[in-house]
Structure 1
Amino acid sequence: MKNKNFDAIIIGGSYSGLAAGMALGRALKQVLIIDSGSPCNRQTPFSHNFLTQDGKTPSEISLLGRKQLQTYTTVSFLHGLVTSGKRTGTGFEIELVSGETFAAQKLIFATGIKDIMKDIEGFAECWGISVLHCPYCHGYEVRNEKTGIIGNGESGFELSKLISNWTKNLTFFTNGPSSLTGRQVEQLGKRQIIVVDKKIRKLDHINGNIQNIVFEDETEVSLSAIYAPTPFLQHCQIPESLGCELTSEGYIKIDQFQQTTIEGVFVCGDNASRMRTVANAVAMGTAAGISASKKMIMEEFDSKVR
């Protein structure tokens, strides 16, 4: 790529990054979108709860987004992995694993998060297919089906209350000794939610579709779907290396304009929000692109009238 200097570089070219790119492209800014091609929902068969795109595959949505962005001649794409970033006198410089470097006034990180899979055989293979994180994304498709929750304590109890909206055939798996209170167990029982405290050995599945939960004592329970919240890490540590602060939950801290605690660095999508939906990622990306472009426009105007 001949051009090495841009108004903005977007790291991460999935839904949020593409939306940021569109906002910047429409603001006539020179933009580079760098993506390594490993979105977190790559196993998810269909995307839902996104108006006009409901039921499309994740790849369909992203491919359409890239196609629409090709209309904007100031937006460029590069397949690659960014390994580091640093501040310069005029903005930022980033380096790829290939050794290439690029410079920009502003950076936007749309890099998502990395889910930490539970140490259960078959769990990772089912993630996003029949092991689910969000009932608003996937609950309708498994409504009234035999469903499980892998959780414990207060957070698991609250999740079971939520999931009971989509199915009355619900089982709560604590995957070992239960930390539920007696009152919580009583309340679950009143809603016919069974609590099982056996240790899980594996998930029997066919191409990621759960058939049975198998316990260490070799007993099993058949299911259609499981909700299983997982801890996460930031997929990219470069914002932290630049000095961006994290929240107590591990998300990148942002203001109302998607800007981090470091001037000129913006983030959008799953790396900064609990609301883990494609629709929200697009909304945050649009906001980040508008905010970054507006900041550049104002800075340029002010510099010429001083």
Structure 2
Amino acid sequence: MQYDVIIIGGSYAGLAAGMPLARARRKILVIDGGQRRNRFAQHSHGFLTQDGADAGAIAAKGREQLLAYDTVHWLEGKASSAERTEHGFRVQIEGMESLEARRLVLATGVVDLLPDVPGLAERWGSHVFHCPYCHGYELNQGQIGVLASSPMSMHLALLLPDWGATTFFLNDAFEPDDEQLEKLKARGVRLERNRIARIEGALELIMQDGRMVKLDGLFTATRLEVASPIAALVGCEFDEGSFGRTIKTDLMKASTVQGVYACGDAARPGRGCVKTQNHFSGERVRLRSNLETNLHVKH
């Protein structure tokens, strides 16, 4: 057996999972493809002690601290498949030999599937966002838009007036009922039923009727997709949520496949959002406790 644990994913969740295992002197391998979910954002906000820090620098510092432990190995690459073996799991890395471990930790993250509006994807993370707590403050109470993608967009539309004057672009994706219209009116939200044709400039919304609406920030609720096929390949079950599928885990972060654990956005039902210190500390404790206990059990 080459490793005690292979962690697939080297962003915040994978790093947080690796640290207690390293301190337990477990031989671990982190496989990372370098595709952090927040790679489009320049700064991290709402992360205690790291507010305003470069998001990539936080991950780089975490990697540096983890690699200071001599039982930790790091591999830059993409895990393409995995299978159970007699003693654990075999993971295939694209263009490389397969590697084996007694346990797997899936910290693969998720992919945000954006509404199909020309020009929107190019502004994701710089002028188009999904979390007001991460990005709302910097808009300085300016002009804010909410682009509807489903009925769940109502939550954003009712929340965002705390950060600025809010316009709800329905875009033929959703029509509020009478009760919802009253709530939007009470919050001072302006409704825009004309579709967005495209986005230009910093954030200039060109409407289908030819009007141009200039905003300081645009928010939308994305669909989430687990970023790696590994969980499905090893037989993990998934939770179906309002925003997409996530890997099903118990309170100790164990998946439905014995010996496979999952953490981070890929294993959080609901809206994967701010990477907070409290969230990953609690998740790390549960994962460490269960995984350490399991590593002492031979099967």
TM-score, with length taken from structure 2:
0.92
Equivalences for residues 137-176 of structure 1 within 5 A: 137-151=134-148, 154-167=151-164, 169-176=165-172
Q: Which amino acid aligns with 2:190?
A: I
Q: Which amino acid aligns with 1:102?
A: L
- Of 194, 201, 223, the match for 1:198: 194
Q: For each residue in 1:120-160, what CA deviation from the matched residue of structure 2 results, as whole angstroms up to 9, or x when unmatched?
A: 11111111122111112222222411101011664222221
TM-score, with length taken from structure 1:
0.90
By how many angstroms is 1:99 displaced? 3.6
1:180 aligns with 2:176: yes
Q: Which residue of 2 aligns with 1:220?
A: 212
Can you give the 5+ residue segments of structure 1 that lack an aligned partner in the other structure? none
1:253 aligns with 2:248: yes
Q: For each residue in 1:70-100, what CA deviation from the matched residue of structure 2 results, as whole angstroms up to 9, or x when unmatched?
A: 2211011000101000001111000011141
SS of residue in 1 equivalent to 2:201: strand
- Of 34, 37, 62, the match for 1:37: 34
Q: Which amino acid aligns with 2:107?
A: A
By how many angstroms is 1:201 displaced? 1.3
Aligned positions, number: 292
SS of residue in 2 equivalent to 1:121: coil
Q: Which amino acid aligns with 1:44?
A: A
Q: For each residue in 1:33-58, what CA deviation from the matched residue of structure 2 results, as whole angstroms up to 9, or x when unmatched?
A: 00011112111011111111111111
Moved more, 243-252 or 178-187: 178-187
The answer to whether the 8 A contact 1:43-1:129 is kept is yes
Work out the CA distance in 2 between the residues paired with 1:178 and 1:90.
51
Work out the CA distance in 2 between the residues paired with 1:56 and 1:275.
20
Moved more, 284-293 or 214-223: 284-293
1:60 aligns with 2:57: yes
By how many angstroms is 1:184 displaced? 2.0
Q: For each residue in 1:13-39, what CA deviation from the matched residue of structure 2 results, as whole angstroms up to 9, or x when unmatched?
A: 001101111111011100000001111
- Of 253, 260, 264, the match for 2:259: 264
* Structure 1 ranges of 4+ moved more than 6 A: none
Equivalences for residues 1-306 of structure 1 within 5 A: 5-151=2-148, 154-167=151-164, 169-176=165-172, 178-206=174-202, 210=203, 212-249=204-241, 250-273=245-268, 274-279=271-276, 282-283=280-281, 284-285=283-284, 287-297=286-296, 299=297
By how many angstroms is 1:189 displaced? 2.3
By how many angstroms is 1:163 displaced? 1.5
Work out the CA distance in 1 between the residues paired with 2:60 and 2:289.
22
Q: Which amino acid aligns with 1:282?
A: F
The answer to whether the 8 A contact 1:108-1:288 is kept is no
Can you give the 5+ residue segments of structure 2 that lack an aligned partner in the other structure? none
Moved more, 46-55 or 6-15: 46-55
Q: For each residue in 1:211-242, what CA deviation from the matched residue of structure 2 results, as whole angstroms up to 9, or x when unmatched?
A: x1111222111100011011121111111121
Work out the CA distance in 1 between the residues paired with 2:182 and 2:150.
14
Work out the CA distance in 1 between the residues paired with 2:150 and 2:176.
5
Q: Which amino acid aligns with 2:103?
A: K
The percent identity for this pair of structures is: 35
Q: CA RMSD in A?
A: 1.8
The answer to whether the 8 A contact 2:247-2:266 is kept is yes
The answer to whether the 8 A contact 1:24-1:290 is kept is no
Call closer, same or farther: CA 1:202–1:286 in 2, change over 3 Å: farther
Q: Which amino acid aligns with 2:180?
A: Q
SS of residue in 2 equivalent to 1:243: coil
Moved more, 214-223 or 85-94: 214-223
By how many angstroms is 1:290 displaced? 4.2
Call closer, same or farther: CA 1:177–1:118 in 2, change over 3 Å: closer
Between 1 and 2, higher relative CO (CA 8 Å, sep ≥ 6) is seen in 1
Call closer, same or farther: CA 1:286–1:16 in 2, change over 3 Å: farther
Work out the CA distance in 1 between the residues paired with 2:139 and 2:146.
13
Moved more, 152-161 or 29-38: 152-161
